[in-house]
């Protein structure tokens, strides 16, 4: 459903900035824009041969998330010379709870440099139809607004800080708050399935990793608190004991504060630990190659510790990856990755923790599909001072 479309009167090149709520956002927008949109896309997607070839054919622009990339800027400048329409999701990732995430500041710098008209696109209902954490889509109404927000003359007159403020204000949107007035139904099977990928702390008993979803419900295995995820995106108490929050974004904000408090209070011990998975590294051909299987991954204030068996191949591979220092015990190798040395910490495909360490690109993938990789990304970025309230 289209609320407003200011692109119909635009000629030549321009930028579309949109909130990022679902996998289908690029297609929703393209339905209402006549010119072909050249989107900036996570470079990790290009590693898949067929998909990567299709994205290149569409002239989409690869970029590694949260890392400065001069080659991306050069490609954007080339597209500008050809009067292209460039699509950007300035949050840099899909949001987890229906709330617009922090906008990347360099977006404002890019707008100032390019001096192209800017159209702000707000997608409403997209999150509830395809939540990032969910296995299944939900049927419901999605609304889109395409509003011309910045003319070239305005961009020239404004400072980068003023442009940044305009972008933040124009794309700020709360799906759950919007639902309170619209009450649009989003029905589907197993509505709560994999909600624990986002909600990883029980607010009733403060247990970490104890939440499990099944069908339309989510339950804490530690205290038996239970809720039903309804067709309007709310959590409804089920049984004798429920959770403190009925809104996902309120719960998510609370657990962010809880993790920050936990990090401040803990000394010498692991903040949290998960078990069994694979560590991979990008090879010269841009493909991810398995380095080792690990038994345990633990996060401390200053490091991530990878514990794996003392097989000869593991020792050699750990050494080759420059993950120093490592402790070679009788039964396990404990490889240390310093938190301050990690950059570009992000989540791919909901199940992969990706990061750069000593100029090398790594993936961590857990064996269990129920491990919250979001928990790891959130905590590491808090430790690095990169999560701002």
Say what the pLDDT of residue 339 is: 93
- Is residue 61 very low, low, confident or very high in pLDDT (cuts 50, 70, 90)? confident
Q: pLDDT averaged over the chain?
A: 89
CB 92 within 8 A of CB 104: yes
- Given a cut of 50, is residue 389 above it in pLDDT? no
Task: For the beta carbon of residue 188, count every other beta carbon within 10 angstroms.
Answer: 18
- Is residue 328 very low, low, confident or very high in pLDDT (cuts 50, 70, 90)? low
Say what the pLDDT of residue 334 is: 79
Say what the pLDDT of residue 72 is: 83
Say what the pLDDT of residue 380 is: 96
CA 329 to chain centre: 36
User: Between 320 and 101, where is the model more confident?
Assistant: 101
- Mean pLDDT, to the nearest integer, of 308-320? 62
- Mean pLDDT, to the nearest integer, of 23-33? 94
- Given a cut of 50, is residue 388 above it in pLDDT? no
Closest of 290, 268, 253, 293 to residue 387, by C-alpha: 253
CB 50 within 8 A of CB 23: no
CB 98 within 8 A of CB 149: no
The SS3 assignment for 50 reads: helix
Token pair listed for 295 = 């038994």
Query: What kind and span of H or E run contains 290?
Result: strand 288-299
Domains for the chain: give ranges and CATH numbers: 2-182 (3.40.1130.10), 195-265 (no CATH), 272-383 (2.30.29.30)
User: Between 63 and 282, where is the model more confident?
Assistant: 282
Output the CA torsion sign for 162, 165, 167, 169: negative
Residues 6+ away with beta carbon under 8 Å from 169 = none
Buried residues in 65-96 as b, exposed as e (16+ CB within 10 A): bbeebeebbebbeebbeeebbbbbbbbbbbbb
Say what the pLDDT of residue 359 is: 85
pLDDT in tens, 134-149: 989 999 999 999 999 9
* 3-state helix vs strand vs coil in the chain, percent to 5: 30, 30, 40
Main-chain dihedrals φ then ψ at residue 61, nearest 5 degrees: -110, 115
User: Between 203 and 41, where is the model more confident?
Assistant: 203
Report the alpha-carbon distance of residue 356 to residue 359 in Å, rounded. Answer: 6
- Mean pLDDT, to the nearest integer, of 66-88? 83
Say what the pLDDT of residue 255 is: 96
- Given a cut of 60, is residue 309 above it in pLDDT? yes
Report the alpha-carbon distance of residue 231 to residue 147 in Å, rounded. Answer: 29
- Mean pLDDT, to the nearest integer, of 24-52? 85
Main-chain dihedrals φ then ψ at residue 355, nearest 5 degrees: -160, 165
Residue 11 is given by DSSP the state -
Closest of 290, 280, 295 to residue 332, by C-alpha: 295
Say what the pLDDT of residue 326 is: 55
pLDDT in tens, 197-217: 999 999 999 999 999 999 999
- Given a cut of 80, is residue 369 above it in pLDDT? yes
User: Between 359 and 169, where is the model more confident?
Assistant: 169
């Amino acid at each position: 459903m289209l609320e407003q479309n200011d692109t119909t009167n635009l000629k030549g090149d321009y930028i579309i900035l949109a909130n990022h709520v679902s996998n289908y956002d690029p297609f929703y927008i393209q339905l209402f824009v006549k010119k072909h949109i050249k989107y900036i896309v996570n470079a990790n997607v290009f590693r898949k041969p067929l998909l990567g070839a299709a994205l290149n054919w569409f002239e989409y622009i690869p970029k590694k998330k949260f890392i400065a990339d001069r080659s991306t800027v050069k490609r954007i400048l080339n597209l500008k010379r050809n009067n292209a329409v460039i699509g950007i999701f300035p949050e840099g990732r899909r949001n987890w709870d229906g709330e617009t995430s922090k906008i990347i500041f360099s977006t404002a710098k890019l707008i100032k440099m390019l001096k192209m008209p800017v159209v702000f696109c707000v997608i409403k209902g997209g999150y509830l139809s395809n939540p990032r954490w969910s296995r299944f889509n939900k049927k419901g109404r999605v609304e889109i607004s395409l509003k011309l927000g910045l003319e070239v003359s305005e961009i020239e007159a404004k400072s980068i800080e003023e442009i940044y403020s305009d972008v933040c204000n124009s794309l700020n949107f709360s799906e759950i708050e919007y639902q309170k007035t619209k009450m649009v139904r989003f029905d589907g099977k197993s509505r709560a399935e994999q909600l624990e990928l986002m909600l990883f702390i029980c607010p009733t008993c403060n247990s970490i990793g104890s939440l499990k979803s099944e069908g339309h419900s989510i339950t804490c295995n530690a205290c038996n608190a239970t809720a039903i995820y309804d067709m309007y995106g709310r959590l409804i108490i089920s049984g004798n004991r429920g959770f403190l929050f009925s809104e996902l974004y309120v719960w998510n904000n609370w657990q962010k504060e809880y993790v920050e408090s936990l990090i401040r209070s803990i000394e010498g011990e692991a903040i949290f630990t998960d078990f069994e998975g694979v560590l991979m590294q990008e090879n010269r051909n841009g493909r991810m190659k398995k380095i080792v299987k690990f038994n345990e991954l633990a996060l401390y204030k200053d490091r991530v510790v990878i514990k794996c068996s003392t097989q000869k191949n593991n020792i050699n591979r750990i050494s080759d990856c420059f993950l120093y220092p490592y402790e070679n015990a009788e039964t396990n190798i404990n490889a240390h990755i310093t938190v301050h040395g990690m950059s570009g910490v992000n989540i791919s495909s909901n199940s992969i923790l990706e990061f750069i360490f000593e100029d090398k690109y790594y993936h961590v993938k857990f064996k269990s599909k129920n491990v919250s990789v979001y928990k790891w990304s959130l905590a590491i970025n808090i430790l690095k001072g990169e999560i701002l309230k």
